[in-house]
Amino acid sequence: MAVGAAIFVFVLFVCPMAFAKDRIVGGNDGWSQSVDYSNWASGETFSVGDNLVFNYAGNHGVNVVSKDAYENCNTGNAIQVHTGGETSIPLSSAGDMYFVCPTLNHCDTGMKLAIKIQGSSSGTKSNPPNGASGVFGNMSKLVVGFSVVLGALFAFMG
Ligand SMILES: [Cu+2]
């Protein structure tokens, strides 16, 4: 019984995460100086729950910055600083996010990315309520059915 409940909870809460997608910045070219990132981003959709993955060489980095810093290539006041060649950033809320490479002149020559993150996709958000109503629907049918049987039994005995 406990195992069954555990599996049910697992399926209900863990499986929706399977809808989360890794968005590889720049595709096979990764995070480098040879990609037009505004062009790349315009062909992608970003949703809450997705991961933004940066793959890059050691001379690059990933700074999460404000819109103003993005537009002016100001790397001095970053919200987050990432290094190491592979950075996965979970997109946890809807809205705009801005990224620049902090290496001197890289942002100025195009190593900057702006994305618009949409709210949860319909698949992840509408499933739990539907599933819950299904369970309660079946439960009330069971109760009604049980009452009918019990009523019939009492009628028979009476
Ligand atoms: Cu760079």
23-44 confidence digits (pLDDT tens)? 999 999 999 999 999 999 999 9
CB 102 within 8 A of CB 81: yes
**Tokens 């987050």 — which residue?**
80
What sign does the CA torsion over 9, 13, 16, 18 have? negative
> Comparing 85 with 128, which gets the higher pLDDT?
85
Q: What is the pLDDT of residues 88-110, one digit of tens each?
A: 999 999 999 999 999 999 999 99
Distance 34 CA to ligand 1 centre (A): 10
| Residue 151 confidence (pLDDT) | 65
The reported pTM is: 0.66
Helices (H) and strands (E) in the chain, counts: 4, 8
CA of 103 to the centre of ligand 1 (A): 5
Q: Is the pLDDT of residue 138 over 70?
A: no
* Dist. CA 126 → ligand 1 center (Å): 40
Which pLDDT tens digit goes with each residue over 45-91? 999 999 999 999 999 999 999 999 999 999 999 999 999 999 999 99
pLDDT of residue 146: 62
